[in-house]
Structure 1
Amino acid sequence: MVVRIRLVRYGAKKAPVYHIVASNAQKLGTFYPRPNLDDRSKHIQLNFDRTKYWLGVGAQPSDTVSRLLAKAGLVPPKNLNL
């Protein structure tokens, strides 16, 4: 069985917060897709050690999580131009 790293939606209606979890529901980080009012940037918070561990033992990130991890520098970006 392959362990997947995916997003789980939390938060209120029209104010989503996504937790980045491995399929055994261990929280690896948090992603806030709504920009802050101060600096207008989206916020991602990751536990790099645990994320590297799960990637090292063969966990496969979903497409969305793969893009977030590529922005954080943990995985190489996927080439979508086939």
Structure 2
Amino acid sequence: MVVSLRLLRFGCKNKPFYRVMAADSRSPRDGKHLEVLGYYNPLPVKLRVYWKQLLSTFMRYWLSVGAQPSEPVQRLLFRAGVLPPPPMLAMGQKGGPRDTRLVDPMTGRIMTP
């Protein structure tokens, strides 16, 4: 059984809310899961702050036993400081450099000189 870390979608139309979960890679997106590892709200709340709560000890456990994060979860873990930057942040889809500006490792935002 291959375990993947991925997002489970909740919320209504145009107002998504996600749970980060560990699940069997063969189960559907909103299907059975093994464990809920955190939450992510992509819509800005007050002061344009994105709300995310990740349980990093459980994330580190699942990563240590070989769980594979999906690309969105990999970006969230990078912004939370659990993983190194994913290769897609530095490279475009076809393998060329997409952006040469520096990215803040804690927030994932572009740093100004």
Fold in common (TM above 0.5)? yes
1:79 shift after superposition: 2.1
Higher relative contact order (CA 8 A, sep 6+): 1
Q: How many residues align?
A: 81
Alpha-carbon RMSD across the aligned residues, in angstroms, is: 1.1
1:74 equivalent in structure 2: 82
1:8 equivalent in structure 2: 8
Segments ≥4 residues shifted beyond 4 Å: none
Flag the structure with larger Rg: 2
Q: In percent, how many aligned pairs have the same letter?
A: 43
> Normalization by structure 2: what TM-score?
0.67
* Pick aligned residue for 1:65 from 73, 80, 95: 73
2:63 equivalent in structure 1: 55
1:31 equivalent in structure 2: 40
The structure carrying a bigger strand percent of its residues is 1
Equivalent position SS for 1:35: coil
| Matched letter for residue 34 of structure 1 | L
Equivalent position SS for 1:68: helix
For 1:48 and 1:73, locate their aligned partners in 2 and report how far apart those are by CA, in whole Å.
9
| Cα distance per residue 1:32-51 (max 9 Å; x no partner) | 01000x21111111111111
| Matched letter for residue 74 of structure 1 | V
For 2:85 and 2:52, locate their aligned partners in 1 and report how far apart those are by CA, in whole Å.
17
| Structure 1, unaligned runs of 5 or more | none
| Matched letter for residue 11 of structure 1 | G
Equivalent position SS for 1:28: strand
1:61 shift after superposition: 0.1
